[in-house]
A = this chain, B = another copy of it.
Amino acid sequence: MSGEDNLLRLVEAEDGDENNYHLQDQVGFILRKAHQRHVSLFASHIADLTPPQFAALAKLYDIGETSQNQLGTLIAMDAATVKGVIDRLKARGLVEVSKHEVDKRRLLVNLTPEGREAIERLIPLARTITEETLAPLTAKEAATFLRLLAKLA
């Protein structure tokens, strides 16, 4: 073994691999992949709606009519994003919009009967998607994971 080899080993030992950056170990990268997997599972069960569109319908089903901005806050979308989502749901007749009588800035959004029928039909599928997303974990692991994930979100 040469002196150079000894020096190299010493340096590596001192560094303890700290100089080696592995993308696949970074929480951001894994988070992105886990999210991708979930979206893919979602699409395999609910082909005609995206997760954000589903989120909008589910929240409207939960709380009833609300303003576009407030809906965005509740489903974690900024104003520009939620507008696009609502526009597409409106074009498909799943939601309807109206002006707020008092505050003329606000745009009220609500489910149409078709939208209500759709979300009622889809919620059971969404439960399946949640199950499949968590399928690699045991029940106990899934509970732990959800608790910790919620802390990060």
Contacts and interface: CB of A to CB of B under 8 A. Distances in A.
Name the prevailing secondary structure of the A interface residues. Answer: helix
Interface in A113-147: 123, 126-127, 129-130, 133-134, 136-137, 141, 144-146
B152 A133 contact: yes
A30 B126 contact: no
Contact of A27 (B55, B58, B149): B149
A19 to B, nearest CB: 9
Nearest to A39: B28
Tell me how many chains of this kind the complex includes.
2
A36 interface: yes
A90 interface: no
Contact of A126 (B21, B75, B144): B21
A38 B31 contact: yes
Interface of A: 21-23, 25-39, 42, 51, 55, 58-59, 61-62, 75-76, 123, 126-127, 129-130, 133-134, 136-137, 141, 144-146, 148-153
